[in-house]
């Protein structure tokens, strides 16, 4: 195995993963599985990908997750569940017949779907957080009473039955395939592999920094990826085609994980940063240039000054 990477140590259950206890063959199998999952998603990427990862929605989910004492894994899972659910909803609208000049029933059906999505958005968001809490393998599950109390505080008058039906609607729409890997799973496995391969930076502080930067990236996603696109094409005004092609970059979890680890390593210890980048390149095959550009884009928004690009020129 050239050097490895992908899913982390099972979280049974501490708020932080324990590194250093995974056999090499398990790491390799996990890396292959996550890499295949990532490639499969990118090959089937819907045009609406990213539609529900705007900063206000992500912040809403993060604040609710914090209010309900959920860990970072659950908050990322909730964002990804809501994203996938909303894409399915948008696709359903697109498949509905458009309204013709006489204003047919098909048009009114599409309008009704839009209104339903708008009216139930907060309810579906809460359902995604509930489902994510149940996938996190810990005891802070968001039960119906907690969720209803919150919705009532926003002046919604949902019943417990409607809340259960909302969870079921999300599950059915996603065909019960809700246990999708989040970027944190990629990060944690790659950190495990880095430790196995002799990375000089200890995994625990690196993991803590990665989580902070991953939060930041989720909240500043559009701005960071806009910087990354302009850096990659060396042009401040990308064409529509370049923006469209860049969608696959924005949805690439392996690249995201590698970029976040690289950035974290630079923040913690710039002296070891180059070694970490070389390891990540060897583990994933992602070029050092791509890793460098990603770190530059993140740090430009975090620090606004010293960046890997500047460091490289010294």
Contact in structure between 306 and 27 (CB atoms under 8 Å)? no
pLDDT of amino acid 107: 56
Contact in structure between 190 and 257 (CB atoms under 8 Å)? yes
- Residue-wise pLDDT for 113-122, tens only, equals 778 888 899 9
Q: pLDDT class for 287, splitting at 50, 70, 90?
A: very high
pLDDT of amino acid 106: 52
pLDDT of amino acid 12: 39
What's the rounded Cα separation, in Å, for the pair 217 and 207? 15
Share of the chain above pLDDT 70, in %: 86
Report residue 71: phi and psi, to 5°: -80, 175
Question: How far does CA 34 lie from the centroid of its chain?
Answer: 14
Assigned CATH for 55-173:
1.10.472.10
Question: 20 or 285: whose pLDDT is higher?
Answer: 285
Contact in structure between 255 and 5 (CB atoms under 8 Å)? no
Q: Is pLDDT of 4 > 90?
A: no
Contact in structure between 195 and 203 (CB atoms under 8 Å)? yes
Share of the chain above pLDDT 90, in %: 68
Contact in structure between 293 and 231 (CB atoms under 8 Å)? yes
Contact in structure between 189 and 8 (CB atoms under 8 Å)? yes
Helix 253-268 crosses helix 203-219 at what angle (to 10 degrees)?
120
Average pLDDT, the chain: 86
Q: What is the 3-state secondary structure (H, E, C) of the chain?
A: CCCCCCCCCCCCCCCCCCCCCCCHHHHHHHHHHHHHHHHHHHHCCCCCCCCCCCHHHHHHHHHHHHHCCCCHHHHHHHHHHHHHHHHHHHHHHHHCCCCCCCCCHHHHHHHHHHHHHHHCHHHHHHHHHHHHHHHCCCCCCCCHHHHHHHHHHCCCCCCHHHHHHHHHHHHHHCCCCCCCCCHHHHHHHHHHHHHHCCCCCCHHHHHHHHHHHHHHHHHCHHHHHHHHHHHHHCCCCCCHHHHHHHHHHHCCHHHHHHHHHHHHHHHHCHHHHHHHHHHHHHHHCCCHHHHHHHHHHHHHHHCCCCCHHHHHHC
Which residue bears the tokens 């099972």? 10
Q: Is pLDDT of 71 > 60?
A: yes
- Domain regions of the chain by residue span: 55-173, 199-313
Q: pLDDT class for 67, splitting at 50, 70, 90?
A: very high
Q: Is pLDDT of 104 > 70?
A: no
CB atoms within 10 A of CB 36: 11
Q: Which of 112-121, 236-245, 246-255, 298-307 has the lowest mean pLDDT?
A: 298-307
Q: Nearest CA to 132 among 189, 70, 84?
A: 70
Which residue bears the tokens 């309008």? 111
| Angle (nearest 5°) at CA 49 between 77 and 6 | 50
pLDDT of amino acid 108: 63
pLDDT of amino acid 191: 95
Contact in structure between 298 and 260 (CB atoms under 8 Å)? yes
Q: Which of 11-20, 83-92, 183-192, 277-286 has the lowest mean pLDDT?
A: 11-20
Q: Is pLDDT of 124 > 90?
A: yes
pLDDT of amino acid 92: 79
pLDDT of amino acid 112: 77
- Residue-wise pLDDT for 9-57, tens only, equals 334 344 567 777 778 888 899 999 999 999 999 999 988 888 889 999 9
């Amino acid at each position: 195995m050239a050097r490895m990477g992908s899913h982390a140590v099972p979280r049974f259950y501490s708020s932080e993963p324990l590194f250093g206890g995974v056999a090499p063959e398990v790491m390799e199998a996990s890396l292959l599985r996550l890499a295949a999952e990532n490639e499969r998603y990118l090959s089937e990427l819907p045009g609406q990908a990213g539609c529900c990862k705007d900063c206000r929605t992500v912040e809403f989910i993060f604040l609710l997750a914090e209010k309900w004492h959920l860990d970072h894994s659950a908050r990322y899972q909730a964002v990804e569940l809501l994203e996938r659910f909303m894409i399915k909803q948008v696709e359903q609208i697109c498949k509905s017949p458009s309204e013709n000049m006489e204003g047919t029933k098909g048009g009114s059906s599409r309008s009704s779907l839009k209104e339903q999505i708008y009216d139930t958005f907060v309810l579906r968001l809460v359902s995604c957080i509930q489902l994510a809490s149940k996938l996190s393998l810990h005891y802070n599950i968001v039960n119906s009473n907690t969720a209803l109390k919150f919705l009532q505080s926003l002046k919604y008058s949902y019943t417990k039955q409607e809340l259960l039906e909302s969870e079921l609607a999300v599950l059915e729409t996603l065909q019960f395939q809700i246990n999708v890997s989040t970027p944190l799973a990629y990060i944690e496995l790659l950190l495990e592999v880095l430790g196995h391969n002799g990375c000089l930076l200890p995994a625990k502080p690196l993991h803590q920094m990665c989580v902070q930067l991953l939060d930041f990236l989720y909240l500043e996603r559009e701005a960071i990826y806009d910087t990354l696109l302009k850096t990659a094409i060396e042009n401040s005004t990308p064409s529509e085609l370049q923006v469209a092609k860049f969608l696959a970059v924005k949805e690439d979890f392996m690249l995201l994980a590698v970029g976040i680890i690289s950035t974290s390593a630079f923040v913690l210890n710039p002296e070891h940063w180059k070694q970490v980048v070389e390891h990540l390149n060897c583990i994933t095959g992602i070029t050092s240039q791509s890793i460098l550009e990603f770190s530059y884009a993140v740090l430009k928004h975090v620090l606004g000054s010293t960046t890997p690009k500047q460091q490289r020129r010294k």
